[in-house]
Amino acid sequence: MGNCWHAPGAFRKHAESRAESRVLHGRMILFFALPLAIFFPYFVHADATAGLAGWWALDDGSGTVALDSSGNHGNASLVKFPADNSGWTNGQIGQALNFRGVSGQRVVVAQSGALDFGTGGFTVSFWMKPEGTQNSMPISKGTHGYTAPGFRFFLGSTNNLNFCVEDQGLNRVEPRVTITSFLGSWNHYVGVWDAASKTATIYINGIHAASTTNASIGNITNAFDFTIGARSGGDYEFKGMIDDVRLYNRALSPQEVADVHRQGAPGGFTVENLGSPLQGNTQEHQVMYRTADGDRHLQLYYDTFGSSPMNIVDIDVDTGKAYSSVFENNLGRPGPQFHVYYPANNKIYIASSDPGSLSEFDPATGNTRYIRALRYKGAQWGEVGDDGWVYIGETTSAVAKGAGVERYNPMTEQWQDLGIIDPAFNGSIQYAYTLGADRRYVYIGLGQLPWYLAVYDTQAASNNVKLYWADQGDTAGVVLRGIDGNWYYKRVNPSLTPSTKFYKFEDGVPVETSAYPEFLPYYNHGNTVNDKTAFKAEFNTSINLDQAYPNSGNGNAAVIGWQTDSNPWQFTTIRGMFLIPAIIKRLYNIPGDSGNLLGWADEYGLVFTYNVNGRSISQLGYPQRSLYDATFDGTTVYLSGYTSATLRYDMAKPWTLSGSSSIISPSVNPYMLSLSGSDSGGNWNGNYHYYSDKGADGRIYLGAQHTRDSAGGGLGWYDPATGASSGLRQNFLNYGPQGILAVNNGAKIVYSSSQGPDPEGKLFVLDVASRTIERTITPIPGGGSLDKIIEAEPGMVIGITANKCYKVNALTGEIIWVKELNGTAFPGIPASDHSLAKGPDGYAWLFIDNALSRINPANGDIEKIMAAPVSSIMFHGNDLYFYGGTSLSRVVNISGALPPVVPADPSVPSEDSDGDGIPDSADRCPGTLPELASFVNVYGCPKPIAAKFDIKPDFHNIDLNTASDFDLGMSSYGKITYNKVVRLYRVAGGQIQRLDLDSDVNFSRARISINPSGQQDLNTNATVTLYGLQFKIPKILKDGQECEECSIISYSNGTIVFAVPNF
């Protein structure tokens, strides 16, 4: 119930260019007359009543008619409500209706032309307070059986809320979101169908919750009544309250949705929907093949981030003919997992994964034929065997954990399931990672842990599988075809001598050989990790994909280049590919740049900067790796991710890394670091560099997760000054990283871990000076894996698990407190995407169920702030950003809109040990001397002496233990910008003292100085801005010598901005 079941889509071949084709200096440009699919978010606050097709405020309070306030005279009739008017009740905005879920109860608006939207967009908005789990339709204009056009909201038995749009051809789109924690409370729900982008979106409380795209949706006009509280015509009755139902004949913009929500919200917060700032697709795969007439073809596959549709571009590199086709596949992940060319019929076979399916593509016509669903979870590898069958290696479900293999004969259309290759496999999950087949045997490279070889005998009646090296702990194994036509196996094991060995298959048996040929390239992997020189080896063709990634930042243009034999380079420009909103994977504040954020998209996606004022994306480039974390060091940022990758990027210089450049070359920007280091436990460097931070020694510390080769994690480090790297593995053999954090001004690195053989995760505290683990802390014995951590004050760490939070002293190991979350932290979001964030109020912010919440660092008390869809979060100043989906939202000045951090309760006497007027429960500087009591701020810490500065933070209302992202300066001379945590008081002789900034920090024309003995905490890396300069070519001098460690960020109109390591 509540699911939209999808039929296979069709291939729509774009018309070939009727515009201009010409050769200029050997460069061929094809201008395609295709629609340009670039979408920009709207930011104009339009009239919230414009385009209303109906507005049922439900404020009538009595009777059996709900008036239409839109002016369209579509009054609604109450059906089967109590005659005593008890169905009317107090609502979110004035009155509302209380639906009891009884048979036939509903509110009906008779069908009229005003309720038909044809091929246009529309919006449904309503407030709802569901009463428990149910199968119901709070809003409907259509049937539930998916046999007629219409739209509906469906609330299902798993507390999923679906917004389904269906056209007259029964094509459907249906985003969904789980609302378990919203049950029993008022929340605002909006469904938007944007006909231009073919996207259906759900918003909750003004914030984007889910989107799905289907380019096939057409006319949705139908003859059904618009119904509130049940399905059109009755049944699926809703139980709970509904208020203020609006129906628009247009797609509201994200900001308009937020405006409508704010009209009924209980006040306090201003939510801004920033739209989908980045639209694009992913050029995941490419194939080269030779047709029967001898022409060489290059084929590129553009996946819309795992959604339908998908573009396939086919270029005959010998003739220059090119076209783009759109493949709409709703039976599984449309992004292809592999493609193989079948010479006998000149067709391409494409398999998708999770759930898997096999399709046939005809390059001659641009048509695609769906063949069938795969039996197992999804495709992993494909190959045409010497026997003429297409072999498909698959991963199986979590129940059947071995690897499966199926095969298909295109000439006879026979299908055969070879079964699970190793039914005795008892690991967590296994892939048929690579395979090959001769006329009798199928060779299967099995992975992840361990890796080993299986040989399947297709002619044997029984005992037809033989395993090799299943118990040897191999770290990799790949089946390869040599240019001599034979099949080989590449085996990797660090205990072997040499560690990599090759075997040739002879009558189904792997025989070790030192004489092996060049191997044919396999094209199944994405462009981000594929070596394009493989095309040169087999087809004598070079390709250039540097500009082959269309997105809304480059005009939706894919420029594809190739060079055959000794001919000149040719380039084709493909325009109008289907773009959809990209998932914003990460966002970070940029040190010294208050107007921009650094971010990137999911799935090896684009790295960009986001201008918070202009609300626009600026493209930097594609990283060739899947990124997870960033750590800043002046103008350099370290981007860490998969596979085993940390990239060094100088943001002061242009991005030069491209698809045709070597990622390991230091001449490109960014480039991938060469990292090594091991201890008695082995090499620390795992497949996933999930987390990073900078230590006080200037080194970049990395938390790595091992998969496929082994389990657990590793902690590594890289020294930017020398390029040296090393790390620890032994301590983390069973403990994968859940977060790493530099604390106590970088003197310690805290590694938060998953649970290992013990039933709980641990905190490993590394001393930066000695680079050894000095202590291990178990915050919650038996509490399962730990999760993200933040530093509340120097050395004090607040962390979470799935259902608890805690505070520990990382310097002593003391556990300060442990509290229940009374819910689940970041439900439905992968652990690596959880984002425990420290707010400007000093609290730890997170999602608990569907509630944005914050944790008081003093005592662990939890405060629910607002109901919202679960997302990743980050603070930019006082604004809170929601990201992790395809849309951005922010709550403006969220901490400023909240009540004081520690509200006074005069009825409860508060203990104040140091007599400074701040109760001990809120005092962040206990033991302040009595003579400083008149100078303390709301946190109980003495404010600095800073009378001469007109650029400074609000010392009275910030936590002076953990001040960050602030400016200090004089508008006539310049300012210092700190983007790291800085303590703004002194401790001398065990006593807390005020900082004298007036004496120790001095500005003059073109000069700044800090007294290092009086201001140790301020004597750190920062960004300096100086005004009124008249130099033509400025240099940065430190103590009379040119500062080689300083870097100029910009110099314009007499203003210079530069980064310094210290003063």
319-345 confidence digits (pLDDT tens) = 999 888 766 554 444 455 777 878 888
Nearest to 101 by CA among 236, 278, 292: 236
Average pLDDT over residues 890-908: 59
- Cα R_g (the chain), whole angstroms: 31
The whole-number pLDDT of residue 534 equals: 62
Sheet holding 879-883, edge to edge: 270-275, 888-892, 879-883, 872-876
C-alpha dihedral (790, 792, 797, 801), degrees to nearest 10: -50
Residue 123: pLDDT band by 50, 70, 90 thresholds? Answer: very high
Residue 7: pLDDT band by 50, 70, 90 thresholds? Answer: very low
Q: DSSP for 1018-1044, please give it.
A: TSS-EEEEE-S---SS---EETTEE-T
For the record, the structure tokens of 350 come out as 């494409």
Average pLDDT over residues 513-532: 58
**Is 952 within 8 Å of 946 (Cβ atoms)?**
yes
d(CA 678, CA 176): 46
Q: Residue 262 — φ and ψ, nearest 5°?
A: -65, -25
Residue 834: pLDDT band by 50, 70, 90 thresholds? Answer: very high
pLDDT at 572 over 90: yes
Residue 911: pLDDT band by 50, 70, 90 thresholds? Answer: confident
Sheet holding 476-481, edge to edge: 476-481, 487-492, 500-506, 509-513
Average pLDDT over residues 639-657: 95
- Triad 624, 625, 626: Cα angle to 5°: 135
221-252 confidence digits (pLDDT tens) = 999 999 999 999 888 999 999 999 999 999 99
361-412 confidence digits (pLDDT tens) = 887 777 778 898 888 877 888 889 999 999 999 887 655 567 899 999 999 9
Other beta carbons within 10 Å of 45? 12
Nearest to 487 by CA among 522, 437, 524: 437
Q: Which fold has domain 11-24+283-539?
A: Methylamine Dehydrogenase; Chain H (2.130.10)
874-893 confidence digits (pLDDT tens) = 999 989 999 998 889 998 88
The whole-number pLDDT of residue 837 equals: 96
Looking only at the bridges linking them, the beta strands covering 593-601 and 390-395 are unpaired
- Triad 1008, 1010, 1013: Cα angle to 5°: 165
Residue 4: pLDDT band by 50, 70, 90 thresholds? Answer: very low
User: Who has greater pLDDT, 69 or 38?
Assistant: 69
CA distances from 143 to 50, 234, 736, 1041 (A): 28, 10, 49, 78
**Residue indicated by tokens 């698990």:** 801
Q: Any idea which of 11-20, 114-123, 594-603, 838-847 has the lowest mean pLDDT? A: 11-20
935-950 confidence digits (pLDDT tens) = 988 888 999 999 999 9
671-681 confidence digits (pLDDT tens) = 999 999 999 99
**Is 37 within 8 Å of 194 (Cβ atoms)?**
no
**Is 189 within 8 Å of 125 (Cβ atoms)?**
yes
The whole-number pLDDT of residue 333 equals: 44
- The contacts found for 20-29 with CB under 8 angstroms, 24 or more apart, are 23/570, 25/568, 26/567, 26/568, 26/569, 26/570, 27/568, 27/569, 27/570, 27/571, 28/320, 28/570, 28/571, 28/572, 29/571, 29/572, 29/573
The whole-number pLDDT of residue 520 equals: 67
Burial class, 46, CB count within 10 angstroms (exposed 0-12 / middle 13-18 / buried 19+)? middle
The whole-number pLDDT of residue 302 equals: 82
Domain boundaries, the chain: 11-24+283-539, 52-267, 900-938, 943-1060
d(CA 1000, CA 1011): 5
User: Who has greater pLDDT, 377 or 28?
Assistant: 377
User: Reduced to 3 states, what is the DSSP secondary structure of residue 29?
Assistant: strand
pLDDT at 652 over 90: yes
Q: DSSP for 39-68, please give it.
A: ---------TTTTEEEEE-----SSSEE--
Q: Any idea which of 305-314, 625-634, 834-843, 923-932 has the lowest mean pLDDT? A: 305-314
Cα 87 from chain centre: 44
Q: Residue 712 — φ and ψ, nearest 5°?
A: 80, -160
The whole-number pLDDT of residue 524 equals: 37
Average pLDDT over residues 792-802: 95
d(CA 170, CA 146): 7
pLDDT at 104 over 80: yes
Q: Any idea which of 441-445, 540-544, 805-809 has the lowest mean pLDDT? A: 540-544
pLDDT at 576 over 70: yes
Q: Residue 92 — φ and ψ, nearest 5°?
A: -70, -40
Q: What is the pTM (predicted TM-score) of this model?
A: 0.67
Q: Which fold has domain 52-267?
A: Jelly Rolls (2.60.120)
The whole-number pLDDT of residue 928 equals: 86
Average pLDDT over residues 1006-1025: 83
pLDDT at 553 over 60: yes
The whole-number pLDDT of residue 9 equals: 28
966-989 confidence digits (pLDDT tens) = 899 998 899 999 877 788 988 877
The whole-number pLDDT of residue 1052 equals: 84
452-495 confidence digits (pLDDT tens) = 999 999 999 888 999 999 989 888 899 998 878 899 999 988 88
Residue 550: pLDDT band by 50, 70, 90 thresholds? Answer: confident
178-229 confidence digits (pLDDT tens) = 888 788 889 999 999 999 989 999 999 888 888 888 888 999 999 999 999 9
Helices (H), 137-268: 254-264
Q: Mean pLDDT over all residues of the chain?
A: 85
From 3.30.1610.10, 3.40.50.150, 3.40.50.20, 3.60.21.10, which CATH number describes the 943-1060 domain? 3.30.1610.10
Q: Any idea which of 86-100, 298-312, 532-546, 805-819 has the lowest mean pLDDT? A: 298-312
**Is 888 within 8 Å of 871 (Cβ atoms)?**
no
User: Who has greater pLDDT, 363 or 748?
Assistant: 748
Q: DSSP for 792-825, please give it.
A: EETTEEEEE-SSEEEEEETTT--EEEEEE-SS-B
Q: What percent of the chain has pLDDT over 90?
A: 48
pLDDT at 499 over 80: yes
